[in-house]
Each structure stands twice: as structure tokens, then as C-alpha cells.
Amino acid sequence: MPHTVSRPDRRAARVLPFFLAFLTAALTLLTGHRSHAQPAYDAEARSAFLLDFESGEVLYEKNADEPLPLASLTKIMTLYLAQEAIRDGKLSPDEKVAISERAWSQNPALRGSSLMFLEPGQDVTVREILLGIAVASGNDAAIALAEHMAGSVDAFVERMNAKAKDLGLTRTRFVDPHGLSEGNVSTAREIGTLAARYIREFPNVLRDLHSVKRIEYPKPENLPGRLAGRPTIPQDNRNWLLWDKDLPVDGLKTGYVEAAGYNYVVTAKVGDTRLIGVLLGTASEAARAQQGKALLQYGFNNWTSIRKYRAGEAVASVRVWKGKADQVDLVVPADVWVAVPKGEEGRLVAAVKAPADVVAPVAKDQELGSAALFLGEKAIRQVPLVAKDEVPPGGLFKRIWDSLRLALRSLLARFTK
């Protein structure tokens, strides 16, 4: 006997797709993120991650939550803490750094690794040390900075892990400031998140440190007394894509450790779109550069960043009763960026939800509404709308007059139902 569908089953079959669509939109709005339908692409690395910097949207990921050894990507946190200290007035780029035996390039523990070629007695500044870390990936420089900032390497590593915890990097752990140990681990997602935070808080590091192609050290001014006459050693940045003519790469850091392979955090900006790519475990230096370029090109070829609203931009206005002002503008508290698939920019629309009126007082930055962003019919995210200005209560006559008008409006609404 043929199977028949009962009426309740038919109704469920009709309703279920709409329910699922509603549920998906609701979850998207709550999280503020979305997944994109991705063109065919597979990064040749153990783990990969591609982030749109402005919107924070993930454009590509592969095993992005697998903890792996970081190698010299560890130095991103070392540099982050240095920049934070400079910003807070606890460290000056011009102050001198004493070089200990541990930070000496001849330390057996550093032999064969990336070095700035520091030596006890050299006259070197924090600024030079930072360049030695960012450009030459100097493990000696990382030790010197850690000792200078925290008194010891161990104390500095404690700061690194405390900062990782503050930033919500739950799968990240540091055991040294340079990355020589395989015990420094993180995921592509978390190291990409750290890199984005580093660039956002300290945008000058791209120009001043990470896009510098070559350093020469030591120079005569670094070598007083018995050290005079040491040869200057030129070193090129290990980020090969800084020389690439197809992409305006301006950062960030490379690394290698046998347990993981060749690692890379790379960033570039085209127009308004900055992308941050992470590759953990590529096969060689050449493969690292090639895959880094491919990852960025994949992003730039398929997405563009759009600033839908500027911070403080009025999106709507609300009538204010019993206030010194009769209306208040609703604005977005921060720039609102969205990563949109290329060719679909015209489908980005917003739906504003806000009360028609409110009663004073209204506080500045008080949340009074929201703007839901859609790409066509697909919900993307929801952003708050806040009062641009404070609206204190009006004078006695204004409050009485508006109270009468509100009472009359309520009465008329009751009779016209």
C-alpha cells in the first residue's frame, strides 16, 4: 500500500524550511558573524586561517583550531608587550638595553638559529632591538628585550601567558619569548586573532617594523671600546612577499620549527580591504611564500570590505517627549564594516528598528535601537544604535504640555482602534 502523508506531516513539511531559515538568521544576528559560501580552494598547510581585518569575518579556515608549535610567530606576542609598554610610558624606544651572557649570540642554546648578533657591552637601543626581532627574527634580541622589560626571561614569559589569557587565547601557551621551543603552541585562529589585535592597537608597527626589508647591525655607534671594529652584518627580512610586485604586503612574521614546518602570518591591504592570513606547517620557505600569496589572493579575488556606517553617523532619529530637545539622533558607536562577496556589494541593505518616540531624560550613548544588515535576504549582523546626545528633562511648562499631548494621543488611539 502506498505511503500517504497526513495533514500534520504536510504542514510540518511546509513550515520546517521557514523555521530553519528563521533559526539560522536569528543565530547569525546573535553571533554577529556569518559563514560564506567559499569557492573551491585548499591551502597547502597543516592549518590555515584568513581574516578580514576590519569586519573580523573569517573568509577561510582549515584545521584552524588545531594547536601547533608556533616557532618565531611567538615573537608577535613579545613585540605586542613591548608596544604596549611603550604606549603606557613604561618603555622608551631610545633607552639602552644591557646585553647579558644569555642574550649573547654566542650562547650555545642559540647557535644555528636566527640572530641579531648581540654581544655583551654593545650599546643598543630598544628601537634597534625591536627591529632585530621583527626583521632578522633575532632570538638573542628577544631574550635581551625580555630581560630588559621584566628582569628575567621567566618573568617575561609569565606576562606573555597572562596577556594571552586576557585576550581570550585559550589554546595558546608560551614557554620562551622567541619560539625556539616546541612548547610554544597556538592555533591558526588564535595567532590570527592576536595579529589583528596587535595591528589594530599599534598600526605604526607595520611601517616602522614589519615592512622594513633590511637591517644592518652592529654599526660603529653600537661598538664602544674593546668591541670597536666588528663587521656590520646586513640581514634581509624573512618575509619574502615584501618584495612581491603583485601584492602590497606590509607584514608580519615568519617562523620555522622542525615539529611544525614553516609558519607564516602575512598581511596586505588593497583599497579598504586588509586581510590577515595564517599558515602553520607549510613544506618549505618557498612553499610558505607561495601559499601565503595564494591565500591572500584568494581573499582579495573573492571579497571586498565595505564600511556601511562610520562611527557617530546618524542612522535614524527618535521623537523625545518632555525633554529640552524634541528629537535625538541615533548613531552607530563604532565603524561598521562588512566583508561582501565581490559582485554582491549592491545587495547590502539595512533594516532599522527603533521606537517612534521616547520620554526624557535620554542619556548620551543610551541604546535605543538597532540596525540589522542583510545581504539580499540573508541576515549578516545586528549593530546597536545609541543616542548621539544627552536630552535632559525640559522645563515645567514643557513637561506639562507634552504630558497633555501624550494623554490626548493615548485617548484618541483608544477610540480609533
- Give me the amino acid identity at 87: R
Peptide bond into 227 cis (omega under 30): no
Cα torsion at 214, 218, 221, 224 (round to 10°)? 170
Which one of the listed residues 137, 211, 305, 370 is annotated catalytic?
A: 137
Please pick, among 47, 62, 75, 163, the residue that the annotation labels catalytic.
75
- Residues 6+ away with beta carbon under 8 Å from 26: 379
What is d(CA 152, CA 166) in angstroms, rounded to the nearest whole number? 21
Enter the C-alpha cell of residue 66: 588545531
Beta pairing class for 185-186 and 68-69: antiparallel
Instruction: Residue 215: count other Cβ atoms within 10 Å of its Cβ.
Output: 20
Cell readout for 97 is 638595553
Whether 233 and 217 have beta carbons less than 8 Å apart is answered as: yes
Annotated active-site residue 211? The verdict is no
Grid cell listed for 58: 573569517
User: What secondary structure does DSSP assign to 120-182, as a single string?
Assistant: TT--EEHHHHHHHHHTS--HHHHHHHHHHHHSSHHHHHHHHHHHHHHTT-TT-B-SSSS--ST
Q: Are 192 and 213 in contact (CB under 8 A)?
A: no
Catalytic residue, chosen from 47, 72, 186, 370, is 72
Q: Cα(13)–Cα(4) distance, rounded to whole angstroms?
A: 13
Catalytic, 137? Answer: yes
Of the candidates 342, 348, 343, the one whose C-alpha atom is nearest the C-alpha of residue 376 is: 348
Concerning whether 342 is annotated as a catalytic residue, the answer is no
Residue with cell 545609541: 386
Contact partners, residue 273, CB within 8 Å, separation at least 6: 52, 54, 299, 300, 303, 304, 305, 339
Ligand-binding site membership of 253 (annotated): yes
Among the listed residues 195, 72, 206, 215, the one whose alpha carbon sits nearest the alpha carbon of residue 136: 215
The residues assigned a catalytic role are 72, 75, 137
Binding positions for substrate = 253
